[in-house]
Amino acid sequence: MGLKRKTADLKKRMREAIRGGGSQAIKKQKAIGKKTARERILSILDAKSFHEYDLFVEHAGRDFDMDKKYLPGDGVITGTGTISGHPVCIYAQDFTVAGGSLGWMHAKKITKIMDHAMKLKIPIIGINDSGGARIQEGVNALAGYGEIFYRNTQASGVIPQISVILGPCAGGAVYSPALTDFVFVVDGVSKMFITGPEVIKTVLGEEISMEELGGARVHSEITGNSHFYAATEEECFDQIKSLISYIPWNNEKKAATFPKKPPKTKQFNLDEIIPTDPRQPYDVRDVIRAVSDDSEFFEIQELFAANIVIGFARISGQTVGFVANQPLVLAGVLDVDSSDKAARFIRYCDAFNIPIVTLVDLPGYLPGIDQEHAGVIRHGAKMLYAYSEATVPKITVIMRKAYGGGYIAMCSHHLRADFVAAWPTAEIAVMGPEGAANIIFRNEIKNAENPDEMRKQKIKEYKEKFANPYVAAAYGYVDAVVEPYETRNFLIHSLEISSLKAEKGPNKKHGIPPF
């Protein structure tokens, strides 16, 4: 056979493998508003950068007549490519081929590209669209999942791992995304659950739709399992590209530097954003925009536990992770969900050399039987653990109230913040003036001729004496009291001089965080 015929044969084989599940299955996929696996990869990666591997892998099923079946690529596409020049490994399950079901060779393709990502020290992106385990392959399908989970865990904190849920992802399959750093979902497309509506109906007699049980909205707002919510696949792909621009390739590198840009201070003026009355709300994201390059803020888990805000921005061209109480929602309290959300993000930033800027304005913890019974003690402790453990530069700005345990938890001096600034509006105290005055002056108030008048007076006295940043500053717990407009300069300088910070915790195998 001459070269011409050999290449013609190769082309024929490639055509067959690339057609996936065939035109009927592709038509079905498109009819429900989904792109094909190949289209998804090509939409995420830079043009002409995709290099596919293992196109000719064949499935290993031998029982139930599976040996007579041809499954192109065994239902998953894998390869490497670039996103705005950043190298990534990527795989996409192909629902048009046997429902994207996971058999042994399908799993081997995935674990091979994961191993590749670890060797090359570059991020891995996994696109999930699968009916689950390929039942015909029995225990080998389970083995496949187990091999993926093990690698997810080994890679955790070494390379960024991104999961994109663009179809069903049910049963054991959900645990790979759950082990990865960021989970992207799309409205009406993503469905994630351990047991589906059918089982729930049979066992518990409760009826619920797939969307209500484990749709994109539910995981973005209620469970917190997802980090990014998009209305369409295109929007989701843009979010992935933005994320990649903010994070480093691996845990030994820093995120890419961008040209410095000043914030849009006309639109986001710190002198106008914050009401001085600590009981009045405002959107803390405006504060983040007021101090960040080009006033750009890439928010993570926007819909979940909105009482705390987390996300990336750039200051002087460098990526920083923001953690900020949000007075606009639930007065910015810490609770089970917000502690869980922030603690994980702090650990992410620490693992990937991203400095953490903490903006403080909180009344404390959310009171409630539901909170206590949901384990707010254990979940709240995650914040203390994550901040104390983190060795990246930690910079804290106390804007208004910082009462009680909330003050300690929000990256205080005591958890080893490198720099703590407070605004003149800061109130750092063991509790809010009303509560404190009621306890300290209980007898004076009780025995007074007019207890209400006395209470008001004592609250006023307490406020004047303690509701300020100067008591904490007198002990050195606050390094500097700065005017709001100076905040960006304070952050730029603090970040610059701590760029060589190389702190190491005590030698240990690993800690035992309260999760």
Query: Which residues contact another protein (rule: CB under 8 A)?
Result: 203-206, 221-222, 278-281, 305-307, 327-333, 337, 363-364, 366-370, 373, 403-404, 431-435, 438
329, 380, 421, 462 from 431: Cα distances, Å: 20, 17, 20, 11
Tokens 């969307």 sit on residue:
211
Give least dist CB 143 to another protein, A: 28
Q: Cα separation of 295 and 360, whole Å? A: 19
Q: Closer to another protein by CB, 305 or 421: give it.
A: 305
CB of 305 to another protein, least distance (A): 8
188: phi then psi, degrees, rounded to nearest 5? 80, -10
Least separation in angstroms between CB 432 and another protein: 5
Cα–Cα distance measured from residue 89 to residue 45, given in angstroms and rounded to the nearest whole number: 10
Closer residue to another protein (CB): 205 or 259: 205
User: At its nearest, how many Å lie between another protein and the CB of residue 364?
Assistant: 6
Separation of alpha carbons 252 and 32, rounded Å: 42
Give the nearest distance from C-beta 222 to another protein in angstroms.
6
Q: Would you say 94 or 361 has its CB closer to another protein?
A: 361
Please name the helix (run of DSSP H) or strand (run of DSSP E) that holds residue 40, with its range, or none: helix 37-44
Residue listed under structure tokens 């429900």: 32
| H helical segments located in 180-281 | 197-204, 210-214, 216-218, 233-246, 270-273
- Decide whether 174 or 331 has the Cβ nearer to another protein: 331
Residues 6+ apart with CB under 8 A from 401: 278, 361, 362, 363, 426, 427, 432
Cβ proximity to another protein: between 73 and 432 the closer is: 432
Contact in structure between 128 and 37 (CB atoms under 8 Å): no
Q: Which is nearer to another protein, 353 or 425 (CB)?
A: 425
Report the distance separating Cα 185 and Cα 166, nearest Å.
7
DSSP 365: B
Q: Where are the alpha helices (DSSP H) in 352-411?
A: 369-373, 376-389, 404-409
Residue 61 vs 433, nearer CB to another protein: 433
- Rounded to the nearest whole angstrom, what is the least distance from the CB of residue 453 to another protein in the complex? 17
- Quick one: angle between helices 487-497 and 284-291, nearest 10? 60
CB nearer to another protein: pick between 197 and 433: 433
Is-contact 349 157, C-beta < 8 A?
Answer: no
Q: Compute the least distance from the CB of residue 175 to another protein, in Å.
A: 24
CB of 140 to another protein, least distance (A): 29
Residue in 164, 158, 157 with CA at minimum distance from that of residue 184: 164
Rounded distance, CA 275 to CA 271, Å? Answer: 9
Task: Give the position of tokens 């799993």.
Answer: 107
3-state per-residue secondary structure call for 438-459: HHHCHHHHHHCCCHHHHHHHHH
CA 128, CA 214: separation in Å to the nearest integer?
15
Report in angstroms how near the CB of residue 203 gets to another protein at its nearest.
Answer: 6
Least distance (Å) between residue 431 CB and another protein: 6
Two tokens, residue 389: 């453990």
Q: Which is nearer to another protein, 2 or 205 (CB)?
A: 205
Between 61 and 327, name the residue whose CB sits nearer to another protein. 327
Q: How far is the CB of 471 from another protein (least distance, A)?
A: 18
Q: Which lies closer to another protein via its Cβ, residue 234 or residue 370?
A: 370
